[in-house]
Chains A and B, each alone.
Chain A
Amino acid sequence: MHGRHRRHRLIQQDTKKYVPLLKCLTDCEKGEQLEVVEIQAGYRAKQRLAHLGVFPGTKIIKKKSAPWNGPLEIIVRGTSLVIGRGLANKIMVLCKDNCIS
């Protein structure tokens, strides 16, 4: 599959249905259904996330974030994953559903 190609297509498709909203995972609201578009993190963090099933194209739900700008909890492939805020800041997502813009 062509990553770049597919991403482009997705954004175009979504334009017809919803307002396309490319944003940072940390800026999203709780309960939003999102699709990972890009992870701008370092090699190792990206590798770890990929092994855990988080890479561009993965659908995730933001479940909650810890108080005082703490880490975030996301639902990916049916289970919870906690991601530090610094890393979550580097994950760009596309709003799929229930978007609050």
Chain B
Amino acid sequence: MSCHTPPNKKSKVKYDNEINIALAGNPNVGKSVIFNQLTGLSQTVGNWPGKTVERMEGHLEFLGYHFNLVDLPGIYSLSTFSLEEIVSREYIVSDEVDLIINVVDVTNLERNLFLTLQLLELKVPLIIAFNQMDLLRKRKRDLDFKKLKQFFDCPVVPIVAVHGVGVHKLLEESIFLVENRNKCVPSPDLTSFGKEIEDKINIIIEELNNLSDFESKSQYPARFLAIKLLENDDNLINYVEKLLNFPVINKIKSLRNELEELHGEDINTIISSEIYNNIIKVTEKVLIEKEVEGIKGKNFADIVDHLTTHSIWGYFILIMVLLGIYLFTFTIGNYLGDLLNNSYSMWTAQVYELFPDTNLLVKILWDGAMGGFIGAVSGVLVYVIPFFFTIELLQDSGYLPRAAFMMDKIMHVLGVHGKTVITMVLGFGCNVPACAGCRIMETEREKKISIALTSLIPCAAVMTVVMGLVGRYVGLGWVLVLFIINFGTILIVGRILNKTMPGACTELIMEMHAYRTPNYKVIFKQTWVRSKEFIFRALPIIIILGIILEVLFLFRVLEPVNLILSPITVFWLGLPAVTGIFLIYGILRKELTLVLLAIFAENIGLTITQLLNPFQMITFSLVTMLYIPCFATIIIIAKQTSWKYAIQISFLEISLALLIGGIVNFSFLLFTIF
């Protein structure tokens, strides 16, 4: 093993029979399929410490060994393009990893090997899994594994992940590799660059090795560092300067400039093209029976691809798909939700028969905790699960990139990519899964803007309020006006965020892999893993909040709130003071604003029309639409980004709602005066 591996690691493996594996590979190569095949349901989703990148972890026992598997995010390179790349390379060189399984999609060999060759430079024990061998053979091609083994000099395993072929061979090879501590010495053809570049790299390596404590201090091998320093990798330049006190910038800058001048290209292009040259040297030799392209006729996947990106049919299918998701999610969600709510009211009647009405504890526990739980399950969870299912289905089959391809131009008006259209349409159902879905965005900036816009989409609960108040008592025309105001706000917020958010709107660069039959096992498992996360993370918080609000309500603590809020509600928005408390409750679940309003009106013997005039109804609905994402959404936003950003969004939306609500209120006032 390489020099940077601490010596105590061997003993740890021996004693505990524990093997820590990281799965690395490009996006969409079947990494999660392998991960699912191996770990079953024993997986957990978390975040990398201090980062918003998802960390999938799972465990299994095999041949007396305990395997800890970490599914690294899908990446194309080990540079600093995205947070995922930095997280991955830091994890790979850390002491936590014994070996890496690099999953390679053989139908896209060249691009996949780009990452492999960089992983080789990290000098960590490596197993290469060549996935989708069945597809390759269907295309009348094959790989020469003998030659592959000669090139890479590390275990190369042909697998068909969807059918589980060869997957356990990976574990056997892992055990063998860890037991024998085999070194991976790839052929020099594979990793060496042109002479002029090698010279520069060697100069840097020499400088690094001259440092007295380089071997003990650096986690990265000298050659990897040298290449990255030459590539102007600011993250590693920082690392080298801070950790090793090695002032590099000027020295390496001149080396880099020399190279760039010589080649007439920038350094990234030079290094990348060298790596691709090496890759071609391999693929030329290992790909056998290369059939001339274009001979085979159009298959089903090609026809679907053609239709779904067609200038007319494409949009028709897109609308159908979005409508389908919406209907699927809501038919199932509404059915289950109603079922649960009905049972809950039945149980409530029984509970209050058993216990006297005045029992405070019962009220807190039943109305607060149980009510909060049922509310969260029937109002959110029943929509979250079917929605996650559909999104996994679309992602696995390969439709998502097509939808993004078709909608990219239109969504650019809002300053986001085409992919946002999916989360935004889903936002009409429930903002919670929609905001969680924003993880499909590539960059942090994209994700943040998409989340902000998605959280402004009127969800089913908001629709209930708007339809139940304005639609019922004022007229459908005004509902339309409210929606226009809502979408206008989204447009403006999109524009503003796009201007103010640091960084430029990155252009779409996205791989569009061929359609494939979705793997239902994977989809069900992924759906469960994602839902599990919601159940155990967000649900408890919602329930606790339900209890707190119930306690506050029972002890009439919230009544002064109406007084405190009255300058805003009464003066600025022109609403009755009592609405203040309803709006507070609405943070928990938005339809509560209307439900509580109706209950309140009933309690004091008035109808809603007597309590609110049409103008007030419009203002009240408008404020409910915009004023804040509901609590579950805020939690999801915080999980996807940070609490700071979730609070920022909340404040932004509160101020927007107040601004627009005030404008509407005062224009009504003017209207009634004149």
Known A-B contacts A55-B265, A55-B273, A67-B311; A78 and B110 likewise in contact (beta carbons under 8 Å): yes
- Give the contacting residue for A82; candidates B77, B114, B314, B508; CB below 8 A: B508
Cross-chain contact of B409 among A45, A66, A82 (Cβ < 8 A): A66
Asked if residues A73 and B263 are in contact (CB atoms below 8 Å), the reply is no
Given A2-B262, A67-B311, A86-B507: A53 and B81 interface contact (C-beta under 8 Å): no
- Evaluate contact between A68 and B264: CB separation under 8 angstroms: no
Find chain B residues with CB under 8 A from A80 CB.
Answer: 511-514
Q: Is the CB of A49 within 8 A of B266?
A: no
The complex places the Cα of A70 from the Cα of B311 at a distance, in Å, of 11
The tally of CB-CB contacts under 8 A between chains A and B is 132
The chain A residue sitting closest to B231, CB to CB, is: A47
The answer to the question of A77 belonging to the interface, with a C-beta cut-off of 8 Å to chain B, is yes
Check B405–A73 contact: CB distance below 8 A: yes
Asked whether A100 is an interface residue with its Cβ less than 8 Å from the other chain, the reply is: no
A81 within 8 A of B: yes
B406 is an interface residue with CB less than 8 A from chain A: yes
Among B241-280, those with CB < 8 Å from A are 262-266, 268-270, 272-273, 276
Interface size on B, residues (CB 8 A): 44
With beta carbons under 8 angstroms apart, the residue of B264, B408, B418 that contacts A4 is: B264
CA distance A49 to B511 in the complex (A): 11
Residues of B with C-beta under 8 A to A84: 408, 417, 507-509
Known contacts A68-B410, A70-B406, A70-B409; A87/B509 CB under 8 A: yes
The answer for the CA separation of A45 and B263 in the assembled complex, in Å, is 19
- Residue B191 interfacial (CB < 8 Å): no
Contacts of A77 in B (CB 8 A): 108, 110-111
A82 touches B266 (CB 8 A): no
Q: Which residues of A contact B514 (CB under 8 A)?
A: 80
Smallest CB gap from B406: residue in A:
A66
Contact residues in A for B510 (Cβ distance below 8 Å): 81-82
B401 located at the interface, meaning its Cβ lies under 8 Å from any Cβ of chain A in the complex: yes
A79 at the interface (CB under 8 A from B): yes
The answer to whether the Cβ of B182 comes within 8 Å of any Cβ in the partner chain is no
Tell me, in angstroms, the Cα distance from A8 to B410 when the chains sit together: 39
Instruction: Report B-chain residues with C-beta under 8 Å of the C-beta of A45.
Output: 506-507, 509
Query: A66 contacts B263, CB within 8 Å?
Result: no
Give the B-binding residues of A (Cβ under 8 A). 1-5, 7, 39, 41-53, 55-57, 64, 66-71, 73, 77-87
Smallest CB-CB A-B distances: 4 pairs: A4-B264, A84-B507, A84-B508, A87-B507
| 7 more CB-based (< 8 A) A-B contacts, given A80-B512, A81-B511 | A1-B194, A5-B264, A48-B81, A51-B81, A55-B269, A56-B273, A69-B409
